[in-house]
Amino acid sequence: MRLDVITIFPAYLAPLRESLLGKAIADGRVDLAVHDLRDWATDRHRTVDDAPYGGGPGMVMKPDVWGRALDAVAQPSSTLVVPTPAGRRFTQPVAAELAGCAHLVFACGRYEGIDQRFVQDAASRMPVRELSIGDYVLAGGEVATMVIVEAVTRLLPGVLGNPESAVQDSFAGDLADLVEAPSYTRPPVYRGLPVPAVLTSGDHAAVAAWRAEQSRRRTTENRPDLLIQ
């Protein structure tokens, strides 16, 4: 998979080269390039925004600068991802879908967002996904891009140490609408708190049943919205 990220704060994306994704890049499973949007600005001040038509607070990012940037990195197999609070909800199934894409281009908007004509024009020649990572507003799309990139790339073959982990994740595979059961490791007793006995019983069927029950209990407590579908 190739990832191109366009932003006015390239340094913000540095953490993407750490940990699992850093190893996937080193292994050649993922190509990552981060670009400074201002490289496609044409004036002396490398301007990327302007006042909003129709009035209102803040500034809007210029479509022409973004259009030139996308033209420079787009390939026939590109999908444009635009993180925005106004987007469709980014979920585990969406992560799995994006993991099947050959090339993802992330447009990190700032200020009051990007002129919608940039998205409209891009949609005339490639798939475009406007995605929200939750019901809150950030200062820019960079952090949301890192969330999406991590959730997507950890699903790629060979990126996760143990591919079984992805199956047992919350919201994935067997747990499509449930959160995962709590996890435990050594020591057997921590500050007077023992590990649930079933987990050291050696009875795999009983462990599986216990974990399924714990997933249901936790989902009811923390995410009852997942049960109403």
Task: Give residues with Cβ within 8 angstroms of 51, minimum separation 6.
Answer: 59, 60
Identify which of residues 63 and 141 has a Cβ nearer to ligand J9T in the complex. Answer: 141
Catalytic residue among 85, 150, 217, 223: 85
Identify which of residues 152 and 181 has a Cβ nearer to ligand J9T in the complex. Answer: 152
- Active-site residue 177, yes or no? no
To ligand J9T, the closest distance from the beta carbon of 134 in angstroms equals: 5
CB 107 within 8 A of CB 141: yes
Torsion, Cα of 58, 63, 69, 70 (10° steps): 120
Q: How far is CA 22 from CA 2, 16, 27, 29, in A?
A: 13, 7, 9, 10
136 is in an annotated binding site: yes
104 is in an annotated binding site: no
To ligand J9T, the closest distance from the beta carbon of 107 in angstroms equals: 10
189 is in an annotated binding site: no
As given in the structure block, the two tokens for residue 24 are 């996937």
To ligand J9T, the closest distance from the beta carbon of 130 in angstroms equals: 9
Task: Give residues with Cβ within 8 angstroms of 64, minimum separation 6.
Answer: none
CB 37 within 8 A of CB 65: yes
- Active-site residue 169, yes or no? yes
36 is in an annotated binding site: no
Within 15-62, where are the H helices? 19-26
Catalytic residue among 36, 50, 64, 112: 112
Alpha carbon distance 143, 139 (integer Å): 9
134 is in an annotated binding site: yes
Identify which of residues 67 and 85 has a Cβ nearer to ligand J9T in the complex. Answer: 85
To ligand J9T, the closest distance from the beta carbon of 150 in angstroms equals: 14
- Active-site residue 112, yes or no? yes
Task: Give residues with Cβ within 8 angstroms of 115, minimum separation 6.
Answer: 60, 61, 62, 63, 66
Q: Which residues bind ligand J9T (CB under 6 A)?
A: 83-85, 109, 132-134, 136-138, 140-141, 144
Identify which of residues 142 and 169 has a Cβ nearer to ligand J9T in the complex. Answer: 142
Binding site for S-adenosyl-L-methionine, by residue number, is: 109, 133-138
**Which sequence positions are flagged as catalytic?**
85, 112, 154, 169
